[in-house]
Amino acid sequence: MRVRELAIPGAWEFTPTVRVDPRGGFAEMFKASEFEQVVGRPFDLLQINSSTSAAGVLRGIHYTEDPPGQAKYVTCTRGAFVDVVVDLRPDSPTFGAWDSIIIDDVDRRWVFLSEGLGHALLSLADDSTVTYLCSLEYSPEFDHAVDALDPDIGIAWPTADREGRALHLLRSPKDAEAPRLRETAVARRGVA
């Protein structure tokens, strides 16, 4: 497995080696010993989620209050997504910065996000499916969102899908009404 730390400390890209033969392909998607060597701690799995999206569906930026925080290990099992990590840790030197990678059903990359990081996904193909492993069960009292189109964060979202067709963004009401980063409690903690 190839591992690359993203520009946001506490986030990594894991690209498995896919072995192909006449029967099909095989890849190790997670190996605790390798994960712990890279990240410096085990991954405590408490919940697994999956969602399917049409091209143009934009989910996030979602985050969980830290503490307790929620770490995620995310992959695309069908189609393709732009996966974006945003640093929402008020004391971090990269607070408000973001990085992105493409996760798809070809390279089978995974993204690990530590607690305190925000996460957003943009589907690049119809019926794209993402699966994410979580270190904390869903707790609505800790669940929050930041506007993924916040100009202060400035995420460079693609405007075309995998086939070059124009993407028309579709967001949930919760995501469309999410506050800008400077309006969130996490930002206020950074200036308090």
Report the distance separating Cα 139 and Cα 142, nearest Å.
6
Burial (CB count <10 Å: 0-12, 13-18, 19+), residue 91? exposed
Among this protein's residues, is 132 annotated catalytic? yes
Statement: residue 190 has pLDDT above 80? no
Contact between 133 and 29 (Cβ < 8 Å): no
Residue 6 identity (one-letter amino acid): L
Calculate mean pLDDT across residues 99-122: 97
Q: Residue 21's pLDDT is what?
A: 95
Percentage of the chain modeled with pLDDT above 90: 95
Q: What is the pTM of this model?
A: 0.94
Query: 185 pLDDT band (50/70/90 cuts)?
Result: confident
Single out the catalytic residue among 62, 63, 73, 144.
Answer: 62
State how far the Cα of 13 lies from the Cα of 89, in Å rounded to an integer.
Answer: 20
Mean residue pLDDT across the chain: 95
> Active-site residue among 63, 73, 119, 132?
132
Q: Is the separation of the CB atoms in 84 and 154 below 8 Å?
A: no
**Does 144 qualify as catalytic in the annotation?**
no
Instruction: Map out the domains of the chain with their CATH numbers.
Output: 2-191 (2.60.120.10)
pLDDT reported for residue 189: 74
Pairing label, strands 11-15, 2-5: antiparallel
Each residue of 128-152: pLDDT tens digit?
Answer: 999 999 999 999 999 999 999 999 9
pLDDT in tens, 39-80: 999 999 999 999 999 999 999 999 999 999 999 999 999 999
Q: How confident is the model at residue 121 (pLDDT cuts 50, 70, 90)?
A: very high
What is the mean pLDDT of the segment spanning 165-169?
95
Q: Three-state SS string across the chain, please?
A: CEEEECCCCCEEEEECCCEEECCEEECCCCCHHHHHHHHCCCCCCCEEEEEEECCCEEEEEEEECCCCCCCEEEEEEECEEEEEEEECCCCCCCCCCEEEEEEECCCCCEEEECCCEEEEEEECCCCEEEEEEECCCCCHHHEEECCCCCCCCCCCCCCECCCCCECCCECCHHHHCCCCHHHCHHHHHHHC
Omega prior to 68 cis, within 30 of 0: yes
pLDDT, position 192: 39
Q: What is the pLDDT of residues 4-39, one digit of tens each?
A: 999 999 999 999 999 999 999 999 999 999 999 999
Sequence-separated (6 or more) residues with CB below 8 Å from residue 37 = none
Q: Are 168 and 78 in contact (CB under 8 A)?
A: no
